[in-house]
Amino acid sequence: MAGRSKYRKTDEDLKRKYRPESLVSSYGYDPHLSEGSVIPPIFLSSTFVFPTAEEGERSFRMAYHLGKAKEGEHPSLIYSRLNNPDLEILEDRLTLFEKGTEKGAVFSSGMGAIATLSLALLRQGDSLIYSAPVYGGTDHLFSHILPQLGIRTIPFDAGAPGKEVEPLLREAAKSGHPPRLVFVETPANPTCTHTDVREMREAIDRFAGRSKRRPYLAVDNTFLGPMWQHPAEHGADLVVYSATKFLGGHSDVVAGAVLGPAALVENEIKTYRTMLGTNLGPFEGYLLLRSLNTLKMRMKGQMVNAQHVAEWLDAHPKVVSVHYPGLLQLGDPQRTIFDRQCSGAGSMITFYLKGGKREAFRFLNALEIFHLAVSLGSTESLAEHPATMTHSDLDPDSRLRLGITDQMIRLSIGAEHYEDLIADLSQALDRV
């Protein structure tokens, strides 16, 4: 078959037989069909030639779901807003890492992924129920933009058990705004609070037993995924990423991803992506394909560094408290959730300084190795002040209630030597 299948070499048996890091350099691609190039070429073409008019008709009918496709049948390459070889290979390889998912869709940014998902699944009169805090851009979309479209949005505290969320589902249904989507960010940005994905799914299923339709469960897995947490294995329908972060890992690409069941991703989310134009570009897709090859090594090394840094901060006299999964103690409900759904602690640390904004700014301005910058997950270590930066758009009262105070510092630990990172933190804290 022409087009899509020409460059793809997917094999479900291989996925079951070998580990993701062993397949990520080859899965979904046949070098012999691209002049033997060991990596996929960058297909910068905006449009693609059909071999016949009949093939063009067939491909458009499939792309716009104008007829039922045969099993294993795909449209030819049409136009890079609809399909592109680099992006399709990338989407196949992402499913290697995100266990429990069948298909992926990549986007021009993490917010492009979340916005497209929301518009694909929600309609006027529906309700969205979401954990808080979430990333500041996500909060703005949920708090300000979706309500303008007639969508009711209802937050609940990150870490809340499913039994506390189930009444929100019932209340929304009774109010005439049936819940269509539950969105969970875990660990939460920036508090690192864990929410139990399995409990959320069970709460949704109990509600659905009394309802005509079951709300979808989407989980933003940016902080720990895809190495240390697999939400689809715990009941999530969709797994969302800012691929800019750990998936990219080098601060040189902005991208997003959604992974989940084939029918939902291919028929719902990709259809909206095509019409909204939120697709990723081929060069950015190439950068992500490059980064996936080192994903496990990067995330593992960064996690080792983060454990050292977190333990050091936890013992420092000018630090009030440290939020890092690797410090959770037995008996803590957060530790119970972590043990159930995570296999590693990741490399995101939030801590609270003694003092307030003045002390926090003194600390940040004194850093020498850490970069004072937002974003996360890259090989360089980053530090930021959530209350005045990434989460400054939140309602002030809500921000304080959620623990996003002037004392809070968020660190993304990179690949530098951990002793040097600690030395940098030490000299900066000495100036506070």
**What predicted TM-score, i.e. pTM, was given to this entire model?**
0.94
Q: Is the pLDDT of residue 2 over 70?
A: no
CA 178 – CA 266 distance, rounded (Å): 24
pLDDT digits (tens, 9 = 90+) for 292-343: 999 999 999 999 999 999 999 999 999 999 999 999 999 999 999 999 999 9
Which H or E run contains 336? helix 333-341
Strand 238-242 relative to strand 256-260, pairing: antiparallel
- Catalytically annotated residue among 196, 220, 237, 406: 220
Active site residue 410: no
For 190, the token pair is 């920036």
Residue partners of 265: CB distance under 8 A and separation at least 6:
102, 103, 104, 105, 238, 258, 259
Q: Which of 9-23, 168-182, 374-388, 412-426 has the lowest mean pLDDT?
A: 9-23
Share of the chain above pLDDT 70, in %: 97
Q: Is the pLDDT of residue 432 over 50?
A: yes
Closest CA to 413 of 386, 390, 380, 367: 380
Q: Average of pLDDT values for 384-395? A: 96
CATH 3.40.640.10 domain residues, the chain: 85-285
Q: Average of pLDDT values for 382-391? A: 97
For 428, the token pair is 């900066």
Q: Is the pLDDT of residue 169 over 90?
A: yes
pLDDT digits (tens, 9 = 90+) for 335-377: 999 999 999 999 999 999 999 999 999 999 999 999 999 999 9
Neighbours of 395 (CB within 10 A): 11
Which pLDDT value is given to residue 186? 98
Q: Average of pLDDT values for 178-203? A: 98
Which pLDDT value is given to residue 212? 67
296-430 to CATH, choices 3.40.50.970, 2.40.128.30, 3.90.1150.10, 3.40.50.720 = 3.90.1150.10
Q: 133: which DSSP letter?
A: S
Q: What fold is seen in the domain 85-285? A: Aspartate Aminotransferase; domain 2 (3.40.640)
pLDDT digits (tens, 9 = 90+) for 211-229: 568 999 999 999 999 999 9
pLDDT digits (tens, 9 = 90+) for 243-292: 999 999 999 999 999 999 999 999 999 999 999 999 999 999 999 999 99
CATH 3.90.1150.10 domain residues, the chain: 296-430
- Catalytically annotated residue among 245, 270, 273, 399: 245
Active site residue 245: yes
- Catalytically annotated residue among 7, 29, 130, 135: 135
Which pLDDT value is given to residue 16? 83
Which pLDDT value is given to residue 4? 46
Which pLDDT value is given to residue 17? 87
pLDDT digits (tens, 9 = 90+) for 51-103: 999 999 999 998 888 877 777 778 899 999 999 999 999 999 999 999 899 99
CA 19 – CA 21 distance, rounded (Å): 6
For 314, the token pair is 């936890």
pLDDT band at 15 (very low <50, low <70, confident <90, very high): confident
Looking at per-residue confidence, does 210 or 371 come out higher? Answer: 371
Active site residue 300: no
Which pLDDT value is given to residue 241? 98
Residue partners of 57: CB distance under 8 A and separation at least 6:
none
Q: Is the pLDDT of residue 5 over 80?
A: no
Q: Which residues of 350-367 are buried (b: 16+ CB within 10 A; e: fewer)?
A: bbbbebeeebbbebbebb
For 250, the token pair is 């080098």
Cis peptide before 133 (omega within 30 of 0): yes
Neighbours of 167 (CB within 10 A): 12
Query: How many helices (H) does the chain have, and how many strands (E)?
Result: 16, 12
CA 26 – CA 14 distance, rounded (Å): 11
- Catalytically annotated residue among 61, 81, 290, 300: 81
Q: Is the pLDDT of residue 389 over 90?
A: yes
Which pLDDT value is given to residue 213? 82
Active site residue 135: yes
Q: Is the pLDDT of residue 199 over 80?
A: yes
Say how far residue 376 (Cα) sits from the centre of its chain: 12
Which pLDDT value is given to residue 229? 98
Backbone angles phi, psi at 33, to 5 degrees: -95, 5
Residue 213 to residues 70, 169, 206, 232, 262, Cα–Cα distance (Å): 28, 12, 12, 20, 19
Average pLDDT of the chain to the nearest whole number: 94
Which pLDDT value is given to residue 336? 98
